[in-house]
Structure 1
């Protein structure tokens, strides 16, 4: 298992010691861009980490949100791309149609990148009806690392949010993860 973290604007700086991969929140909806994105990307790349980017999906206009995400994200070949699908700030939920449209459009526009779905265990179990996760499921379930309580195949498991969001990936090495990602 590889070890990684995911960060947002709340972690302007972060420690890369012992970290094989870093997912960075790039965008949200169709107007928010992480103000620390450039520095966070530089820090992760300088540390030799596999880099991924994620977009927080709001209900509606999935295709517009994909285009915004890709316009604002400094992805390079071999970087991973993900959509964060969960309860939104106003209490509504982005439905399966939005999630599936986002992932399909992302894969259409970036066919050389792996596209993943991030969501929490309860959200996956209670709201997903299609089981579509693009190229892989990144599941949040705060239990022992690498043992999420789901029946679906997964690639990345977020197992805690303390002191930062920590993850493990089902790869034997960073080279294997990079090869899978296409880098």
Structure 2
């Protein structure tokens, strides 16, 4: 599987030689910006400036306290990153329980999931068209804390058997709770290192494809629209290997709405998944509705009809 390499840092790490990281093959860097309702990372501005100067794909993360106010925490993060976030910037919610549980205390799984959705919605509203995902553990996913369809960055440390990029790249992509994380953080010392399940070029496209300078993209008629439609409606029940391939790609990019499948027949979950993908690509309103447009179909990398 094609991958790219990255790191993440916070104030706990000292100054970084970002040019050296790039020479070592690092493509992306995610940097802590904030925590809770008021805390800011003291090295964020320095780290993000260095990573940008090195030409890396960059993003920031916010450490979550789900027993505080979601809107206040989102506002703290938004204020911390606003002057740095632009085309190709990726936003992450770091959803992990402190060992003593103090940031989850008093909250049910359902309440945490609602909190996550509210934080993500606020950040998406503040940065239209930019990627917003969740960094979280197997236990959080198993508990149902993360809404479906969000990009995932997943930490799991096999130990000495996987402590280099080369070793991580030989491993199969993790599938916690049946989800397909786009990023796997495989080691946490002496520096947090992750692999992304996209090539460097595809990662840049994924990170930047939804950001536009002149508003959302306009509706594009798809050359194979008749294939996907029947009497002006989604051709539900139509069978084709194309739908299986499409569904697998939608799962891979974090837009799968499937409980079972995807399968060879077009279903409502396929339509919902593809519309989520079109929204991720920056389309809104009627332009984000089914059927596929040629730009989003090409970006999804499914063979043409």
**Conserved 8 A contact 1:103-1:133:** no
Counterpart residue number, 2:49: 42
Of the structure 1 ranges 70-79 and 137-146, higher mean CA displacement relative to structure 2 is found in 137-146
Counterpart residue number, 2:292: none
Equivalent position to 2:6, from 4, 7, 24: 4
Q: 1:81 to 1:162 in 2, by over 3 A?
A: same
Tell me the SS of whatever aligns to 2:26.
coil
TM-score (norm 1): 0.89
Tell me the SS of whatever aligns to 1:139.
strand
Larger helix percent: 2
Counterpart residue number, 1:111: 128
In the alignment, the residues of structure 1 paired with residue 131 and residue 44 of structure 2 have an alpha-carbon distance, to the nearest angstrom, of 20
Counterpart residue number, 1:139: 154
Of the structure 1 ranges 23-32 and 6-15, higher mean CA displacement relative to structure 2 is found in 6-15
What runs of 5+ residues in structure 1 fail to find an aligned partner? none
Alpha-carbon distance, 1:106 to partner:
1.5
Alpha-carbon distance, 1:149 to partner:
4.4
Q: 1:57 to 1:129 in 2, by over 3 A?
A: closer
Tell me the SS of whatever aligns to 1:176.
helix
In the alignment, the residues of structure 2 paired with residue 133 and residue 57 of structure 1 have an alpha-carbon distance, to the nearest angstrom, of 19
Counterpart residue number, 2:275: none
Alpha-carbon distance, 1:130 to partner:
5.2
Residue 148 of structure 1 pairs with residue 155 of structure 2: no
**Conserved 8 A contact 1:107-1:113:** yes
TM-score (norm 2): 0.55
Residue 61 of structure 1 pairs with residue 77 of structure 2: no
What runs of 5+ residues in structure 2 fail to find an aligned partner? 163-167, 210-305
Say how many residue pairs are matched: 180
In the alignment, the residues of structure 2 paired with residue 154 and residue 56 of structure 1 have an alpha-carbon distance, to the nearest angstrom, of 19
Alpha-carbon distance, 1:148 to partner:
2.1
Q: Which has the higher contact order (CA 8 A, sep 6+)?
A: 1
Equivalent position to 1:179, from 185, 197, 205: 205
Alpha-carbon distance, 1:179 to partner:
1.2
Q: CA RMSD in A?
A: 1.9
Equivalent position to 1:128, from 144, 150, 156: 144
Larger strand percent: 1
